[in-house]
Amino acid sequence: MPDKETLAAGLARIRRERKTALYAWLVATVVLATVILLSIQFQTLSWVSMLVLAVAFLWAMRAISKRWLEVSGYMGRGEKHPTVNIGSPDAWPTLGPLLSSRAETLAKWVNDDNAWDDEAP
């Protein structure tokens, strides 16, 4: 069992992560709302709007991939993640590697510039 200091440090980390995620969500929401309102006003979806949407999409995929990798590590060690619960502890030995492989695939897609070419195949 972890001591009080370890638990307190873990809780502080979780609070910081949640606060950072909340700020990021708020900023993304304000930016997205601004882009949508400007697009409506000018009756077009400008290249700036599309760029903002693409960056938001990639940012979300990167965040999901990072979280899945973190959760799969907990599952692999047989530990409960502090904020995310996927499946039952009995299923973690099977689900952990599956989640990890999907997170790695998602991370590869996000980081592969060739996957985001403008031209259709």
pTM of the model: 0.59
Reported as a single tens digit per residue, the pLDDT across 12-38 is: 776 777 777 777 777 777 777 777 777
Q: For residue 1, what pLDDT is reported?
A: 59
Does residue 68 belong to any structural domain of this protein? Answer: yes
Reported as a single tens digit per residue, the pLDDT across 35-88 is: 777 776 666 666 666 677 777 778 888 888 888 899 999 999 999 888 888 888
Contacts of 99 (CB under 8 A, 6+ apart): 68, 71, 72, 75, 86
In angstroms, the first-to-last Cα distance of the chain is: 54
- CA dist 116 and 111 (Å) reads 9
Counting every residue written for the chain, the total comes to 121
Closest CA to 94 of 74, 70, 76: 76
Does residue 121 belong to any structural domain of this protein? Answer: no
Overall number of domains in the chain? 1
Mean pLDDT of the chain: 78
Task: Note the Cα 10 to chain centre separation in Å.
Answer: 20
For residue 108, the enclosing domain spans 4-116
